[in-house]
């Protein structure tokens, strides 16, 4: 396909070339200039109602709105000219006439675009004798969404999302003039699976999440790029943590996977990351009872249990485990006749986001089914459980041990359980090794489209728990079959060298948007 025609223009003295049809607002980003805006969002149809993106275009008699004005060859654009600044100052003054002064109690404070632009370009005071009304009535829109009408600036992002993206038009702008507000259909609530995105889209504190309400201030949060493990779609997310506790999940843009959105199931899929019933030290079985030990002793014992030169081995692994963990577990049983298995929960039907092709809450409620399959694991958990009896070695890397009994692991010759919590069945293992969960380690997952994506450590693991790749790497070292691994990057490099599906990939070329395994094979 021929390259798209480029248009060259100058924005604030910086010359940029962008594809024909690009808006000035998007072109300005290429010049390192952010044009203030409220109603515009790259994932929504253009409305042009807030008038906050007013700019000067040489040769044009009036100010233009950057969100809806396409670039033209030779244009000269001034974003911070006196006329444009004065116009935007007036827009901000107008928006603040009736905006309540409740920033100290507003969840959006610290990440509010109204605050940011007023600080950047607004007036230092108001020309009104009295300040805005100080009450904020709240309306329950249903599910996780509350609406505070007095804070609303009528950008209509939420209306356009529900109408054009979710394709469930239950919101509108009711009334007109200074009485206008966002209305909801009297017989409807925002219980759509993707409705929580209106909270992310709201540029002020008008639409707020019940779940996050008064949990933390924006400046107290650490944001870490990650990948949702709620289903096989592999949506890109940010984990927001406060004092080593995950308090919120928000979407992270990735045009190839989820664009700017996540489903509400994924949005709430974080509480398990903060569980208090974690294993905090290695445990070794003595006289039928598990007793705490140190890592040196635990790793030595693990190497002893794995050191058999043959026989049958069974590896049961979680389909949410990282590629690095799956690869190293497979390498650990290389000398055995191994059964490698996982079990994935499936539900009936998928819930698509109608306006975004290829995006849905998938029926497979696990993140790394594709990665497990590429590494030789099979979705045949029941058969693998039956193979435990008489196996020379059993390695379990999973928290969900449904179908595995405590007695079955006790009868196994050598059983090693690697997990974050201690289900009853795991008490039958000869050795228990505590590991980090997805929020506590670096790693990669493969989504249903074969895209390999990185996730980063967002908080520390409790006690003596360590990443799975570190634990398995140290056992291999004890066996004399490798060196210590100091990062997930090193574990991934070993896998990319040994496994054809991952050949040509590295943390460096994955970036934070990932690459498909087929792309990697073509580039090698």
Q: What's the mean pLDDT in 461-480? A: 97
| Half-sphere exposure for 508 (CA within 13 Å, toward CB) | 3
Summarize pLDDT for 41-100 with one digit per residue, the tens: 999 999 999 999 999 999 999 999 999 999 999 999 999 999 999 999 999 999 988 888
d(CA 209, CA 190): 12
Question: What is the band of 389 on the pLDDT scale with cuts at 50, 70, 90?
Answer: confident
Report the Cα–Cα distance between both ends of the chain, in Å, rounded: 23
Summarize pLDDT for 237-267 with one digit per residue, the tens: 999 999 999 999 999 999 999 999 999 999 9
d(CA 53, CA 155): 12
pTM: 0.94
Q: What is the DSSP string of 322-356?
A: -HHHHHHHHHHTTTSEEEEE----B-SS-EE-TTS
Distant-in-sequence, close-in-space partners of 271: CB < 8 Å, separation ≥ 6:
none
d(CA 444, CA 515): 11
Q: Where in the chain is the domain with CATH 3.10.20.740?
A: 6-93
Q: Where in the chain is the domain with CATH 3.40.50.740?
A: 283-523
Residue 524, Cβ density class (10 Å: 0-12 exposed, 13-18 middle, ≥19 buried): exposed
Which element (helix H / strand E) includes 471?
A: helix 468-478
Supply the pLDDT for residue 88.
Answer: 97
Q: What's the mean pLDDT in 292-301? A: 97
Supply the pLDDT for residue 126.
Answer: 79
d(CA 430, CA 67): 63
% residues pLDDT > 90 (the chain): 88
Which element (helix H / strand E) includes 446?
A: strand 443-446
Note the CATH architecture for domain 6-93.
Roll (3.10)
Summarize pLDDT for 433-459 with one digit per residue, the tens: 999 999 999 999 999 999 999 999 999
Q: Where in the chain is the domain with CATH 3.30.70.20?
A: 132-274
Dihedrals φ, ψ of 18, to 5°?
-135, 160
The alpha carbon of residue 183 and the mean position of all alpha carbons in its chain are separated, in whole angstroms, by 30
CATH topology of domain 283-523: Rossmann fold (3.40.50)
132-274 domain in CATH 3.40.50.300? Answer: no
d(CA 327, CA 523): 22
| Half-sphere exposure for 320 (CA within 13 Å, toward CB) | 22
Q: Angle between the 323-332 and 488-498 helix axes, to the nearest 10 degrees?
A: 60
| 135 has a pLDDT exceeding 80 | no
3-state DSSP assignment of residue 209: strand
d(CA 157, CA 95): 16
Residue 454 has a CB neighbour count (10 Å cut-off) of: 22
């Amino acid at each position: 396909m021929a390259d798209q025609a480029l248009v060259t223009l100058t924005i604030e003295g910086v010359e940029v070339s962008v594809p024909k049809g690009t808006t000035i607002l998007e072109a300005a980003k290429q010049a390192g200039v952010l044009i203030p805006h409220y109603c515009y969002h790259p994932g929504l149809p253009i409305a042009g109602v807030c008038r906050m993106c007013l700019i000067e275009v040489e040769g044009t008699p009036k100010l233009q709105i950057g969100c809806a004005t396409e670039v033209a060859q030779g244009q000269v654009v001034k974003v911070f000219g006196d006329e444009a600044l004065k116009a935007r100052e007036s827009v901000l003054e107008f928006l603040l006439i009736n905006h309540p002064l409740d920033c100290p109690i507003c969840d959006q404070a610290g990440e509010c675009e109204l605050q940011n632009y007023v600080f950047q370009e607004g007036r230092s005071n108001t020309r009104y004798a009295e300040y805005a009304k100080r009450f904020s009535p709240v309306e329950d829109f249903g599910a996780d969404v509350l609406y505070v009408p007095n804070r609303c600036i009528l950008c209509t992002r939420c209306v356009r999302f529900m109408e054009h993206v979710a394709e469930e038009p239950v919101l509108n702008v009711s009334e007109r003039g200074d009485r206008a507000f966002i209305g909801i259909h009297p017989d409807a609530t925002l219980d759509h699976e993707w409705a929580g995105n209106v909270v992310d889209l709201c540029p002020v504190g008008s639409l707020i999440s019940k779940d996050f309400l008064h949990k933390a201030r924006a400046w107290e949060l650490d944001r870490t790029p990650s990948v949702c493990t709620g289903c096989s779609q592999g949506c890109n997310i940010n984990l927001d943590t406060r004092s080593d506790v995950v308090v919120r999940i928000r979407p992270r843009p990735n045009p190839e996977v989820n664009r700017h959105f996540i489903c509400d199931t994924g949005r709430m899929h974080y509480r398990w990351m903060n569980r208090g019933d974690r294993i905090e030290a290695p445990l070794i079985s003595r006289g039928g009872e598990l007793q705490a030990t140190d890592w040196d002793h635990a790793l030595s014992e693990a190497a002893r249990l794995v050191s058999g030169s043959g026989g049958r081995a069974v590896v049961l692994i979680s389909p949410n485990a990282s590629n690095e963990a799956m690869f190293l577990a497979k390498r650990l049983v290389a000398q055995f006749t191994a059964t490698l298995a996982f079990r994935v929960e499936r539900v009936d039907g998928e819930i698509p986001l109608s306006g975004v092709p290829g995006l849905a809450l998938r029926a497979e409620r696990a993140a790394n089914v594709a990665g497990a399959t590429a590494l030789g694991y099979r979705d045949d958990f029941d058969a693998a459980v039956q193979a435990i009896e008489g196996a020379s070695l059993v390695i379990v890397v999973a928290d969900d041990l449904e179908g595995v009994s405590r007695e079955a692991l006790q009868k196994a010759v050598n059983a090693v359980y690697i997990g974050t919590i201690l289900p009853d069945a795991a008490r039958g293992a000869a050795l228990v090794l505590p590991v980090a969960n997805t929020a506590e380690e670096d790693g990669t997952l493969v989504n249903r489209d074969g895209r390999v994506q990185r996730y980063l450590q967002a908080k520390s693991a409790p006690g003596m728990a360590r990443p799975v790749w570190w634990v398995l790497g140290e056992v291999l070292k004890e066996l004399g079959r490798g060196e210590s691994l100091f990062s997930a990057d090193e574990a991934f490099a070993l896998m990319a060298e040994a496994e054809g599906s991952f050949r040509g990939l590295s943390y460096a070329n994955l970036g934070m948007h990932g690459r498909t395994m087929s792309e990697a094979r073509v580039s090698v």
